[in-house]
Every structure is written in C-alpha cells, then in structure tokens.
C-alpha cells in the first residue's frame, strides 16, 4: 500500500472528474439531473438518498468534500465523514450514538460544552474517566482525548478501549493533537476517531473543518444521512483549502513533532536555569510503557508550560518574535496562548505552545530570550 504522503496527494485522483492537476473548486450548490428521462428514478422508489458519488445538492456532498474523504480515509484506515468544524463532528457523534451515559476526561472545552447541551436537553449523565465504569451500559460512550488539550500528554487508548468494551460501550478518541503519522487510535481499540481538521490537516490556520472516522460502512452511511439533515457538511471553499493543506500533512507534522520534542527536551533539561519556568508538559517526557507503541513516529507538536505567576504568563507572549499570541494550533506558524484567555478552567500560569515549521533553533532562541525579558518586565511591575 502507498505511503501517507502519496495517498494524501493521489488518494482521490480516481474521483477527480477533470484533468486539472489541482482539483477545481466546485462552488455550485446544485447539480443538473440526468438529461436522459429514462434514467430518472423517484427518490421514494430508490429506498433512500444516494449521498456519495451522486452530486445533487451540496448539503449532501460535493466533489471537493468527497475528494478529502477519499484521501484521508487512505491514511486513517477508516471511512471518513467530513464536517464544517471539529465541534460539528462531535455533535454528529453524540447525535448518532445517543448515549445515556458519557464517560469523559479532561480536554477541549468546546467538546464539554456540547456534552452539557445534551445534559441540558436530554438528561445525559456525565461521569469522569476515573469513576466507576459499571455506570456505563451497552451503547454508551467513553470519550478520550489523546494527547490531551492543553498539555499534550498521552493517555493509554487500549486501557480505555478495554474498559469501555467490557460494558458494551464504545470508545471515541479525539486525536486532533496527534494526526497521522503520529497516532492510529484504531490499532488500540478505538471505535470512532474525531479530528478537528482545522488544526493539523488544514495546517495553515485558514479553514474550519472536522472529521469522524469509522471502520463501519453502516455507521458512515448513517452519519452521512444525519449530516445531510443537520446541514454540517464541510463547505465548498474550505474543502479546496483543505485539499491543498492535506498534501503536506506528513511533511509538516513530522517536522513540527521533531522540533517540539527538541524544544521540550532543551527546556526540561535546563529548567532550573530558565527564569520563570516552573513545569513543562509533553508526551515526550512521559515514561509509561504504552507511549512508545501508541506514538511510534513522534509526539504531538503541542506542549504546555507552567510559569511562576499569572503576570509572567500574561506578559511572556508579548516578548516573542516568532510565536503569534493566538488560540488554535497545528498551523505552519508557531503559536503560543495564555490559556486562561480562552479556557475558563485553565491554570492562570499555563501557556500552550504549538510548534510550526519554522527552524527550531530560531524558535528555541526566541523562547529563551522571552523568558529573560519577561522576568525583567514582571519584576518592574511590582
């Protein structure tokens, strides 16, 4: 089988309808029916909508969304359904499985926000990942984010898959922080995988998108039908940006992961000499046995640092030249975020860092000078 980069560039060649090297952007929302009347069949006689490979109305599907789904399915080993955002993908997951109980750990605050909507409207019961799983029954969901936002720490997928399956529940894994080639949650028992494609798959901080990935064609078809009704298919223009983005996914992510790990290594080895630095969180610093199996090609390009005070965290981003102070992650440009600005539960001294594709020596040097400059400024505030 072809490798990741080959598949991300050529994985949809067979469905591109023209000879253009770059698939055209299809902005049409609607498509002409067959001009041969003898081929027209009433939808009532068909037994359902044919959503894929049957362009009709772009809320069902359109050429660019299918090209993405085809290419990404080849590097993730499952059927891919694309959505307008990572959160609309999670909403679709919850709508499809409709659990009575959701076991959910730490992680992206918006995912928790959706779980809270289900609790508000339908009485969904939420428990933590370390609570008693005997509260879960057949068809319930265990939702694991790994590596977890914002720290970039890796959790043991197999452990939670086994615990979920013992109860007849499903394991969903949000693997946004470790896209291919970094992790393959299916290998460790995940039933469904979620990605915010806004992050690494897009890779250029210029589009919103999400994926659900399933091994079951039946679930894929059900998700497509729900997506048609929820109106959450990825948009046409965003799809074409994403087609461009995924072509370099493997190159970008390997470099970003390598640079992040080198920077984390330097910071952790020199922690006591770096002014203001208290703690660094990243999968590369974990020693658990499962880490090597689960992250064979490197760790997440995202890590977090804790600094000595709220003011230190607030001022440090302003001292950096090569890191934009912004939320989000996964793009070619490095970002840092004083996490308390966007995450109500974040520790006030926590900064999340997403390493881009710049030269890591420049990034490291920039970070080191920023720690020193921040120390001077914060001292002068007191």
Ligand X SMILES: *Cc1c(COP(=O)(O)O)cnc(C)c1O
Contacting positions for ligand X (CB under 6 A): 85-87, 108, 110-111, 145, 149, 174, 176-177, 196, 198-199, 208, 210
Q: Of 59, 99, 79, 50, whose CA–CA distance to 220 is shortest?
A: 79
Nearer to ligand X, 108 or 315 (CB): 108
**CA torsion sign, 158 to 159 to 161 to 167?**
positive
According to DSSP, residue 355 is labeled -
CB of 210 to ligand X, least distance (A): 5
Q: How many CB atoms lie within 10 A of CB 198?
A: 25
Nearer to ligand X, 86 or 331 (CB): 86
User: What span, in angstroms and rounded, lies between the C-alpha atoms of 86 and 334?
Assistant: 21
User: What span, in angstroms and rounded, lies between the C-alpha atoms of 42 and 59?
Assistant: 19
CB of 197 to ligand X, least distance (A): 7
Pairing type for strands 277-281 and 210-214 reads unpaired
Nearer to ligand X, 166 or 206 (CB): 206
Query: Would residue 107 be called left, alpha or beta, if left means φ above 0 and alpha means ψ between -120 and 50 degrees?
Result: left
User: What span, in angstroms and rounded, lies between the C-alpha atoms of 184 and 182?
Assistant: 7
The tokens for 355 are 């390493």
CB of 77 to ligand X, least distance (A): 20
Residue 184 near residue 154 (C-beta atoms within 8 A): no
Nearer to ligand X, 194 or 305 (CB): 194
User: What span, in angstroms and rounded, lies between the C-alpha atoms of 147 and 252?
Assistant: 18
CB of 87 to ligand X, least distance (A): 4
CB of 67 to ligand X, least distance (A): 19
CB of 86 to ligand X, least distance (A): 2
User: What span, in angstroms and rounded, lies between the C-alpha atoms of 60 and 220?
Assistant: 13
R_g (Cα) of the chain, nearest Å: 22
CB of 110 to ligand X, least distance (A): 5
Nearer to ligand X, 238 or 274 (CB): 238
Distance of CA 35 to the CA centre of its chain: 42
Let me know if 13 is exposed, middle or buried by CB neighbors in 10 A (0-12, 13-18, 19+).
exposed
For the chain, the farthest-separated pair of C-alpha atoms sits apart, in whole angstroms, at 82
CB of 111 to ligand X, least distance (A): 6
Nearer to ligand X, 282 or 319 (CB): 282
Nearer to ligand X, 267 or 335 (CB): 335
Nearer to ligand X, 151 or 191 (CB): 151
Q: By Cβ distance, which residue is nearest to ligand X?
A: 86
């Amino acid at each position: 089988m072809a490798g990741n980069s080959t598949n991300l560039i050529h994985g949809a060649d067979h469905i591109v309808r023209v000879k253009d090297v770059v698939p055209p952007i299809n902005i049409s929302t609607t498509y002409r029916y067959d001009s041969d009347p003898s081929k027209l069949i009433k939808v009532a006689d068909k037994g359902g909508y044919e959503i894929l490979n049957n362009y009709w109305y772009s809320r069902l599907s359109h050429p660019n969304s299918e090209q993405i789904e085809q290419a990404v399915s080849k590097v993730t080993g499952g059927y891919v359904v694309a959505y307008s955002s990572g959160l609309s993908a999670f909403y679709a997951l919850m709508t499809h499985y409709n659990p009575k109980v959701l076991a959910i750990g730490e992680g992206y605050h918006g995912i928790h926000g959706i779980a809270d909507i289900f609790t508000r409207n339908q009485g969904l019961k939420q428990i933590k990942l370390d609570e008693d799983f005997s509260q879960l029954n057949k068809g319930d969901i265990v939702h694991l984010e790994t590596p977890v936002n914002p720290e970039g720490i890796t959790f043991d997928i197999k452990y939670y898959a086994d615990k979920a399956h013992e109860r007849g529940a499903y394991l969903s894994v949000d693997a946004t922080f470790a896209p291919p080639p970094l992790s393959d949650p299916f290998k460790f028992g995940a039933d469904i995988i979620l990605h915010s494609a806004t992050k690494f798959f897009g890779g250029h901080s210029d589009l919103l998108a999400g994926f659900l990935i399933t091994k079951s064609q039946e679930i894929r078809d059900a998700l497509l039908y729900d997506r048609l009704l929820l109106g959450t298919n990825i948009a046409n223009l965003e799809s074409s940006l994403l087609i461009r983005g995924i072509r370099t996914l493997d190159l970008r992510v390997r470099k970003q992961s390598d640079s992040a790990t080198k920077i984390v290594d330097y910071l952790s080895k020199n922690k006591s000499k770096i002014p203001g630095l208290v703690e660094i969180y990243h999968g590369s610093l974990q020693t658990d046995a499962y880490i090597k199996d689960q992250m064979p090609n490197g760790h997440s390009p995202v890590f977090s640092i804790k600094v000595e005070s709220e003011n230190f965290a607030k001022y440090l981003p302003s001292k950096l030249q090569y890191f934009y102070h912004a939320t989000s992650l996964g793009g070619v440009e490095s970002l840092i975020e004083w996490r308390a600005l966007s995450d109500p539960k974040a520790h006030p001294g926590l900064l999340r860092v997403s390493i881009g594709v710049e030269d890591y020596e420049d990034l490291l040097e920039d970070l080191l000078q920023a720690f020193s400059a921040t120390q001077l400024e914060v001292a002068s505030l007191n």
